[in-house]
Structure 1
Amino acid sequence: MSNERLLLVDDDKELCSLLMEYLSAEGYQVDAAYGAEQAIDMLQGQRYSLMVLDIMMPGTTGLELLQQIRPSHKLPVIMLTGRGDEIDRILGLEMGADDYLGKPCNPRELLARIRAVLRRSAAQAPAEGRLTDEAVVIGPISVNPSTREAKVSGELLELTSAEFNVLTYLMQHAGQVLSKEQLTRWVLHRELTAYDRAIDVHVSRVRQKLVPHFSGSGRDKIDGKELIKTVRGQGYIFVFTGQQGQG
């Protein structure tokens, strides 16, 4: 039996029962909540390794629940969304979800996503593109894979696990274009698929969180908006000015 406990949040009790049976057989401890209020109560009383969250629930929606819990709960979240609900997927990722899967979902695919997200949150990078343990310092920005901390001029940068890995990979390959395929494989532990914008959203969130640390300051002549550039048709590149170092 795994020590990893999962929380399923979905008003579809039949689906929850099916997924609980399947995931329990795979060695996970699984609880279910059938609404937002019940989920909040369970999150307060139990430590979970990951939450699977349905976006479209009656009353308080999954998006609203995610927005409520994100400031105080850092656990990884996989969203379940309608097949065509791209806007909900993007909003969910922007609010701090780690991945998404369309409904109706295949239990085997959900299991694969859960395993990938848990591996990522445990900082167990794949052999290809492995994060080094050495801290990287570029200008006032530092990332430390050992402690999973990112800082700007000594001030902690609040990043999700996926956002931290995006920033770290880009900084470890500063000046080099990383394709969306590479980043999706390294950060999300899966292949990039058609119309998949998960990596784009994670990169956008990293940019947004860097900007306030530079706006109006002119520190090291770095423009927060320009630190990570999009190379059309190729991917993303961390563009650095000022001094680069490692420590």
Structure 2
Amino acid sequence: MIAIIGGGKMGEALLAGLLATGYEADQLLVTEPNRERAEELHANHGVAAVPLAESARRAATVVLAVKPQDMVDLLDQIDGDLGSDTLVISIAAGITTSLLEKHLSGEVAVVRAMPNTPALVGRGMTAVAGGAHTADGQLDHAESLLRSVGEVVRVSERHMDTVTAISGSGPAYFYFIAETMIEAGVAMGMTRAAAKKLVTQTIGGAAAMLDDAGAHPVVLREAVTSPGGTTAAAVRELERHGVRTAFTDAIEAARERSRELSEG
């Protein structure tokens, strides 16, 4: 039995992903304190919405999909109800495995996961790291569950702040680029709908080529950049304005902020 505690957008995305990839509704539980929302989840997905203690007692795997500021209180509430062999997976940003272990009795297996928002459409990127008492097989299981909403990579926990900066915050960087490109198109006389279509397909297609071709981004960029051509003129302006440095600085700033939040 798998229990998802927290019925927000990410919790529901995982619930829907598990159902779409072969899990039956009677293999899943959901706990959501808002009664109206709990009823909505049950109506939409056919999964039993149960009290917190019941989820903790019945499930072999418990996914904690609550806000970071609510995590400690939640851990203290479920501690006495978890089985000794329960696997606990947290998808809350900045919550370390050591914090999870501190608030759970015994040698509970915990996994820290960092998904990003494209998980909401089944195309997320999630990084996972195991705690001190987590076996490889349990990490394999966590990866399998999270793969229902996208791709998964296993990392050392010391890299989780970097993961947050690159993939956790990463969608916002692409939305920023998309916003800028769309506004440029509109300023040059295009309709917003046409500009958005051009930008959306271009970003999606470029990402697919980067994934499928296996080539370094530089190789793909140079393949588009003819000497003296339009792309060369554009790249020259990006370099002149220090866009590369700005992105590096932005990612470093996000990593440092993630460290600050993790340390409380």
**TM bracket, shorter-chain basis:** 0.3 to 0.5
**TM-score of the aligned structures, taking structure 1 as reference length:** 0.37
Larger radius of gyration: 2
**Higher strand proportion, which one?**
1
- TM-score, normalising length from structure 2? 0.35
